[in-house]
Structure 1
Amino acid sequence: MPVEALVPLLEGATQRRYAAGQVVVAPDDGPVRHLWYVRRGAISGQQGLATMAPAGFQYEAGDLFPVGAVTGERAVTATYRATQDTACLLIPAALVHELAREHPPFADFLNRRMLQFVELSRRAVQVAYSSRTLAEQSLQARLGSLTRAQPFSCGPDTPLSEALATMHAHRIGSMVVTGPDGAVQGILTRHDVLGRVTLPGLPLATPIGAVMTAPVHQLTVEHTAQDAAVLMSRHGIRHVPVTDGGRLVGVVSERDLFSMQRLSLKHVGNAIRAANDVATLSLVAQDIRRFAGNLLGQGLGARQITEVISHLNDVLTARVVELVAARRQLDLGRACWIALGSEGRGEQTIATDQDNGLVLAEEAAGERAAWLAFAQEVNHALADCGFPLCKGGVMAMNPSWCLTTQEWCERFARWIEHGAPQDLLNAAIFFDFRPLAGDAQLVEPMRAFVTRRAQAVPRFLRQMAEVALQHRPPLNWLGGIETTNEGGREVVDLKLQGVSLFVEAARIYALAHGIEATSTRARLQGYAAAVGVGEAESDGWVEGFDFLQYLRLRAQIGPDRQALGPNQIEVRSLSDIDRRILKEAFRMARRLQQRLELDYLR
């Protein structure tokens, strides 16, 4: 904005000095009439929201306050006091409002929230939805903080008699086999002993290296308990070695996670895998939704919850595919079931319909009718499990989405070359594809093809940006949230007006920079690293996206889930802190869109 636009603020401002300890403004003063600009000294805010921060809010030379009270035309919620001899400029609120109306960049500046406010918002949400004990022992805890005892291990030449005696004496369920450098080479668990030692009748002098499981699924101290739980569920294992710098430092067991969180991720996963019919799977699917509600109540964040939901939905879908393929005597080595949309991105919430397709091997093209019948049965089975059929027909049983690898690539090329409205809509759904069941190698050429062709047609990326920018965050010129009246409730659509803005921008940048990840978080982080975006800005994008996803989960699990749409939330039902961070999330979406606009539409 032009420098001269700020002149009225300076001409209308007055200067005032405050002695150390003097109150500058307090809640009893009523609606604030000025915006304070600190020229020298420091001001602290205490009481109200500020008491949640150890030292309150500290404003120093160059800071403005109280922005929220001025834009909201209300009294402050904290008492502001000079902590030393301080000089401030007092800018009339009327001038601030007038300048914000005339200059959107200034309105955007006013509505930025300091990272302290963001942190307070998170704390308040955690206080409201999780107990202190569960907060301390969360699935978000790093494995380095959980593996305290020195793990038992041995070399590959150790006799079974010695290894089993150690396991029995110390009542441990596994023995990790390591090399001289401490690197994990294998593992033997109690579960392995029966099938690998007892039944074959191996002598106990046999080296453990001859019967150990190798290679071993392992994690590092930087991974979380969430990562360990997902790994155990995905591979049906009970013990995960933990390393630091390549050396074994601990072992996390299934029992450790269950006793820590009283969660049953692996239990639900195993129940899905053990199901022998769709009727049983439909019952287990209800456990996924209840489990997600438990995770929300324990204070987990959106990323962890959506990852767990998507993982369990993956397991359930794969099981349905396996059951139907076996019944129809079809070889899954000749096809691959792919997830699209939010499932392809691993970002499913509770309310989700089906978006899927089928990739056929070239030699299976002549069996298309059989595969379409298979897909129809799978789609309807998934509907029985609580995943409604896609109203737009984006499902594998649609002949348009049951194609060979070559046919998929040709379809993608046509969308990119033509760029018609329907082509752009299809790209937004299908370019988030991810293999779920069958031969994943059939899908590998498709990802490289899409990226290469999109980069070769800049016009296509521009068209995708134009579509993405048709929807804007629901913020007015003062930074307030613009709502829609739905039956007397002032609501916003968290998906259409929030989450989708991040998803679409991330997809465009991923295509433009050859980022193969499908999740929005990974795409944003990959783009930021590729072009050198500052950590504060890129973290803001991710945090804004995560918070919107979190509110979506609350809306779908909370008491208003029947009264409103699955992605709608009543703004007046939010706490003051929730509203503040929601505005910040929308502002982050606006900043990301501004970057997209500069990159593709300038």
Structure 2
Amino acid sequence: MDFVKVCPPFEYLEPQELELIEQTFQVLHFLPGTYILRQDGASSQYFYLIREGVVRFLHRGEVIFTAGVGETFGYPSMLLNCPPRFDAVSGSDVVLYVIPKTTFNQLIDNQEFAEFFLRDLSQQLHETWEVDTLTLGSELARPVETLLHRPPAVVLPQTPIREVARMMREQGISSVLVEGEELGIITMKALVNYVLAEGLSPETLVEQIMVQPVKSLPADTPIYAALLFMIEERADHLPLTQGGQITGIVSNHDLLRYQAKSPLYLLQQLDHLQSVEADVDYSAEITRTVQALFNDGLQVDQIGRIVASLNDTLIKRLLKMTEAELGPPPTPYAWLVFGSEGRMEQLLLTDQDNALVYRDDTPAAHTYFADLAERVVAKLGQAGFPPCPGGYMATRWCYPLAHWQILFNDWINKPEPQALLEAAIFFDFRRVHGTLPLHSLNQIIAQAKYRPIFLAQLAGNALSFTPPLGFFRG
């Protein structure tokens, strides 16, 4: 392992992670001219480290670049389960250290190791784009205004919703702008919900149900950015502006028609999820979605945000389904994620890293949330998220807020190795669901920056664990 641990990014790995490599890797020898990976062939199942020799990478028969001793390849295809973009051919006698995909998936829980691939994969995307923009396609980089078919329909605030519904039916549209002192918007979905679900009179004025303020984007925004905005904002209609004026409205259906593998399609599936087993093969769907975004040339950090939004939607849906099974929560709570999911860097389904915080420390709350955590963690497992080998899941980390405050303070005030490890893990938390305020936990983290003993121990143990990114961001 002496050779391995000095090669990027293996120098970021902990001793136990290097030991995992030693237990699972193979040594393979290739004669000159041997194809190791084939362009558009089967996806790579291994991560390759060159021990001896040179590997050439060809695109349509032309050498694009070469890699030598200490360099790696195979991970874009392996990560995304997609065909290799290049032929990988041995340019001499080559000796490779071959690490299986299952091992690699465990290694990317190491933040610095994972960040190396995020940076490098992003660079490779740009290089691949330059090599063959036709193959990759730049469709998602087109301005979103290219999806517009007509100018927006406009009504006044005093228009009855009956007339708005008639206009939508006759013009075949699903939204109209409401032009008054402040711009508003009304969609067919909202119209139906108000009239049917709440029993409003058809003579109700549109100003009573319109949505304000109107969130919009410039018309020249790339399609991928508009797509991401609609996912994160949970918007089904997006007005586009040019020169301060709205030029049209793009709907989620426009984007779905534009790209059958759009994340919005998966988002709609998740919104209507009734059971994990029957309704959606999430693992397969997220892989197809990531592959489509990768092929369309999105940068890795953009894909990571989209995947995080989809994962968040799944988690929220599973929590709501489980609440329906158990009854309303007895006290406010928050479901937290951390690790690559917490940092919105997850490109594939890795181990679960989650926790649960609830407000009132009562026997009823303890019983309810223990059951909730057990069921949701199991459902996430069915959806393709394996359990965390270290046990950092809500089935174990499920406590009232007061107990979490004690834990956070203890980790800072008694900075022993295990405490520092757990601070590194949990101080990077991100709320996915729930209404419980978490200001007190954030305040403890903020105050930790002024604790010199904790900081000294944190620095001294920097090689033993991954420091929380959020802690150093300020």
Interval of TM-score (by shorter of Structure 1 and Structure 2): 0.5 to 0.7
* Greater percentage in helix: 1
Matched, 1:126 2:112: no
Of the three residues 264, 271, 278, the one matched with 1:266 is 264
Would you say the 8 A contact 1:465–1:505 is kept in 2? no
1:532 — aligned with what? Answer: none
Q: State the secondary structure of the residue aligned to 2:137.
A: helix
Of the three residues 440, 451, 454, the one matched with 1:457 is 451
Matched, 1:509 2:472: yes
Change (3 A) 1:402 1:172: same
Would you say the 8 A contact 2:330–2:364 is kept in 1? no
Q: State the secondary structure of the residue aligned to 1:403.
A: strand
Q: Using the alignment, how far apart are the partners of 2:451 and 2:406 within structure 1?
A: 15
CA displacement at 1:214 relative to structure 2: 4.1
Matched, 1:445 2:440: yes
1:153 — aligned with what? Answer: 154
Counterpart amino acid of residue 406 in structure 2: E
Counterpart amino acid of residue 318 in structure 1: K
Would you say the 8 A contact 1:359–1:442 is kept in 2? no
Q: State the secondary structure of the residue aligned to 2:176.
A: strand
Q: Using the alignment, how far apart are the partners of 1:413 and 1:211 within structure 2?
A: 47
2:382 — aligned with what? Answer: 384
Q: Which one has a bigger Cα radius of gyration?
A: 1
Q: Using the alignment, how far apart are the partners of 2:286 and 2:400 within structure 1?
A: 33
Change (3 A) 1:121 1:294: closer
Change (3 A) 1:443 1:119: closer
CA displacement at 1:316 relative to structure 2: 1.3
Q: How many residue pairs get matched?
A: 359
The one-character-per-residue Cα deviations of 1:6-62 (angstroms, maximum 9, x if unpaired) are: xxxxxxxxxxxxxxxxxxxxxxxxxxxxxxxxxxxxxxxxxxxxxxxxxxxxxxxxx
Would you say the 8 A contact 1:143–1:224 is kept in 2? yes
CA displacement at 1:352 relative to structure 2: 0.8
The one-character-per-residue Cα deviations of 1:87-112 (angstroms, maximum 9, x if unpaired) are: xxxxxxxxxxxxxxxxxxxxxxxxxx
CA displacement at 1:406 relative to structure 2: 2.1
2:408 — aligned with what? Answer: 412
CA RMSD of aligned residues (A): 3.7
**Structure 2 alignment gaps of length 5 or more:** 1-64, 70-120
Counterpart amino acid of residue 326 in structure 1: A
Would you say the 8 A contact 1:197–1:211 is kept in 2? no
2:75 — aligned with what? Answer: none
Q: Using the alignment, how far apart are the partners of 2:227 and 2:123 within structure 1?
A: 29
Q: Using the alignment, how far apart are the partners of 1:260 and 1:146 within structure 2?
A: 8
Would you say the 8 A contact 2:174–2:188 is kept in 1? yes
2:426 — aligned with what? Answer: 430
The one-character-per-residue Cα deviations of 1:440-495 (angstroms, maximum 9, x if unpaired) are: x33233223211x2122133234333444579xxxxxxxxxxxxxxxxxxxxxxxx
Q: State the secondary structure of the residue aligned to 1:396.
A: coil
Q: Using the alignment, how far apart are the partners of 1:257 and 1:426 within structure 2?
A: 42
Q: Using the alignment, how far apart are the partners of 2:322 and 2:472 within structure 1?
A: 38
CA displacement at 1:323 relative to structure 2: 2.0
Q: Using the alignment, how far apart are the partners of 1:415 and 1:387 within structure 2?
A: 28
1:189 — aligned with what? Answer: 187
The one-character-per-residue Cα deviations of 1:307-338 (angstroms, maximum 9, x if unpaired) are: 12111111112222222232222417522211
Change (3 A) 1:409 1:207: same
CA displacement at 1:256 relative to structure 2: 2.5
Change (3 A) 1:278 1:165: closer
TM-score, normalised on structure 1? 0.52
Q: Could you tell me the percent identity over the aligned residues?
A: 29
Change (3 A) 1:134 1:158: farther
Of the three residues 280, 290, 293, the one matched with 1:292 is 290
Q: Using the alignment, how far apart are the partners of 1:373 and 1:505 within structure 2?
A: 29
Q: Using the alignment, how far apart are the partners of 2:312 and 2:296 within structure 1?
A: 23
TM-score, normalised on structure 2? 0.65
Counterpart amino acid of residue 472 in structure 2: Y
CA displacement at 1:354 relative to structure 2: 0.6
CA displacement at 1:129 relative to structure 2: 7.4
Deviates more, 1:221-230 or 1:375-384: 221-230
CA displacement at 1:134 relative to structure 2: 3.5
Counterpart amino acid of residue 282 in structure 2: V
Would you say the 8 A contact 1:129–1:298 is kept in 2? no
